[in-house]
Chains A and B, each alone.
Chain A
Amino acid sequence: MKRTRIVWLVLALLMVGTLIWAGGGKEAASDDSGAVVLRYTSLRTEDQERENSKNAEFTKLFPNIKIQFEAIKDTEYDTVLKTSLETGVAADIVMLRSFDGGRQIYDGGYLVELNDIIPGMHDTFTANSIATWATEDGVMYGVPYFGSITGVWYNIDIFNKYGLKEPETWAEFIAICEKLKNAGETVFAHGTKDQWAITETLYCDLGPNFYGGEDSRQKLMAKEIKYTDPKFVKAYEKIGELVKYFPSGYQGIDYVTMQQMFLNEQAAMFIAGSWELGIIRDAEVNAGWFPPPVEKKGDPLHYAFYADLALGINKNTEHMEEAIEFLKWVASPDHAKLLANALPGMFPTLKIHYDIDDALALEIIESTQMSHVVPTGQLMWEKLSLEEPSGETLQNEAVQRFLNGTFTAKQAVEYVQKGLDTWYFK
């Protein structure tokens, strides 16, 4: 059975290969009108239409360049990107994950250095976001595309029905959960099946207020504290308090199901990132947003607002000039304004002011500018994930096992530390 399948596969591959070899690949490079088609690959399948309408603005400025947006499912993106770069079939413009994810691609020698090509990035972008895609020596290989903010989405209609208002403290937050649960509502659109989701949008979303946010992240990177520090344990215990408000069968709920539950108004809250605003608008859900609740009133708010994705140029592109032109545009304040409005919830990491039309997007970005906010990023994305077992992989597993009840909080942190001990803390 396997053998015949393999034979078919080989035949199919041969056919596809011949087609590409016979010139299919070349045709994609320019269309009937003679314009150059730049291929731009992304991990945001949700953004197909919004990206196309935004990039059409670029073609208005440069009629001889068209942008072909090619999105790959986020969980497969890294694999596809690495193999396509290696085999020489990658897109001209590639999306890069922050810190270690993008760094791996640069270290592989696949990216163009941007320092001289796109001057002036230091004047427009925040230092933080530039450092996310730069080496220690200051070599820049990515134009910061957007930053993400993680917090909690809620359904305003459901909240109004029970007279609830946005919580500030953890105690208020739990009280809301309790009230909704007693009323028979599904409190959270949340499950533990997709590991990345529960780490990025749970532990590193609500956790920083308990593990000490940016300060602890820096100390962990500097090896001044270990992951077994009581602060990290406390963060596990706190997010563990939410499990009883998860829907039944939550262990089998993956991220797509979580999104759909919230969009179909089947759940009151969805702990996730600002990047969801686009599909929330599409689904016309009456949604609101609040930042991660702090432990007690007056505490600093450790708020994850981090440079998330950047764009880089594939070194082997056949259209270097056009690709540079496109990235110059992406680095411009005009693009920032377009992006912020075409893809609401994705925030250009610019130093300078730009206007946002979407009221909720504005509310989210303004919430990060409150006086008691201390911005932070994803705990394991910088330095701690450059080798295997990567901090991210370990933490993903630990959070899943903890929320499923297989690990205690103490076991979870010890597991991660044991893995990091094999290379980072060596």
Chain B
Amino acid sequence: MIRTRKRRYYLLLYLAPAAILYAVFMLIPILQSLRYSLFTGRGLVPDEFVGFDNYVKLFTQFPFRDRFINVLKNNFYYFALVMVFQNAFGFVLAILITRKIKGSKQFKTLFFIPTALSAVIVGFIFKLVLNPVWGIFNIALKSLGLEVLIRSWLGDPTIALPVLAIVTAWHNIGIPVIFFTAGIDSISVDLVEASRIDGVSVWGEIRHIIIPILAPIIGIVTILTFVGNFSEFEIVYSMQSVYGNPEYSTDIFGALFYRTTFGSQVNSVNDVGLGATIASVMFIIIFLGVTLIQRFSKRRT
């Protein structure tokens, strides 16, 4: 008994470095920002206690409320689009890669290369590619005789967000591909062979073998995407500025938070208290979202 208790103290000691680091860099900042959301004032440290005024402002006052509802809508739309363009498409690619086709292994590496780039670099590259004056994309469409398809890709409020979602998907598709191929590779060969002998079609194999076995991995990928999308900032920042241009159509939580907290461009006023409020709401949404997805994917398995 004494020995085990002693051992427990040792355990605490081993845990301490990580626990302290986690507390200093994660826990304390999170609690601090929750606290700041109840304060207001100019400067980086808001000092005037206002209770829930910031929340009331964010949820009820023009134009803060409009901006908030807009980012909420945009962020969920963006998440749904990324789920399709990145994860569903990544799933299809993973299945193709794991078929025994010559050279398929090399593709896995190929798909992962963009992921190694910084989001800001990806953003700037695509901003150039999609530029309506000298962007190579519209020029390519023109030379293919597809002039009718030419759009102001980053300037049209109805398509700007889907374009951003595609860029995000291009950037991060390596991650679901790696996850899914690892999952598919781990499926026992016997199981697959047995099903083939029984005459199961490819579609049947995907539906009845791969998807059920991959369910926990799909859950993890969904959670990663959800957390990533609701804290995304770099892509919007580098392609559409902190205003989520055009007309706030690509405005998502990260951009709204940055704009509110630090102020931006000519003659706008920064409000760290309100920014902390937005961060707190983001935290709650991400927390609830992750819990829900986790529960859902557990039930499926």
Contacts and interface: CB of A to CB of B under 8 A. Distances in A.
Contacts of B271: 388
12 contacts: A1-B115, A191-B132, A248-B152, A252-B152, A252-B154, A257-B133, A260-B133, A385-B269, A390-B268, A400-B246, A400-B247, A419-B63
Interface string B122-153: 00000000111110001000000000001111
Contacts of A108: 42-43
Interface of A: 1-2, 10, 74-76, 78-79, 82-83, 86-87, 97, 99-101, 104, 107-108, 191-196, 200, 247-253, 257, 260-261, 266, 380-381, 385-394, 396-397, 400-401, 404, 406, 418-419, 422
Contacts, number: 143
B193 interface: no
Query: Which 10 A-B residue pairs are closest in the complex by CB-CB distance?
Result: A252-B155, A251-B155, A249-B132, A249-B152, A252-B152, A385-B267, A392-B267, A79-B262, A86-B44, A252-B132
A195 B245 CA distance: 8
Contact of A83 (B151, B227, B228, B262): B262
B257 interface: no
B179 to A, nearest CB: 10
Contacts of A418: 62-63
Contacts of A76: 264
Given A253-B131, A253-B155, 10 more contacts: A1-B175, A97-B267, A108-B43, A249-B155, A261-B133, A381-B266, A391-B267, A392-B267, A393-B268, A422-B61
Interface string B108-127: 00000001000000000000
A104 B155 contact: no
A393 B228 CA distance: 28
Contacts of A397: 247-248
B246 A78 contact: no
Given A97-B267, A381-B267, A252 B262 contact: no
Interface of B: 25, 42-44, 61-64, 115, 130-134, 138, 150-157, 172, 175, 224, 227-228, 231, 241-243, 245-248, 262-271
Contacts of A99: 267
B187 to A, nearest CB: 24
A232 B268 CA distance: 22
A334 to B, nearest CB: 30
Nearest to A104: B269
B273 to A, nearest CB: 12
Given A1-B224, A10-B25, A193-B154, A251 B246 contact: yes
A83 B272 CA distance: 11
A107 B270 CA distance: 13
A275 to B, nearest CB: 14
B44 A79 contact: no
A9 to B, nearest CB: 11
A266 B152 CA distance: 18
A196 B172 CA distance: 32
A104 to B, nearest CB: 7
A85 B245 CA distance: 28
B269 A193 contact: no
A82 B267 contact: no
B246 A404 contact: yes
Contact of B246 (A82, A193, A247, A392): A193
B85 to A, nearest CB: 16
A191 B132 CA distance: 10
Contact of A253 (B43, B133, B263): B133
A388 B269 contact: yes
Nearest to A76: B264
A39 B131 CA distance: 36
Contacts of A266: 133
A392 B264 CA distance: 11
- Which of B64, B154, B248, B266 is most buried by chain A, counting CB atoms within 10 A of its CB? B266
A266 B133 CA distance: 10
Given A249-B152, A252-B132, A406-B157, A79 B263 contact: yes
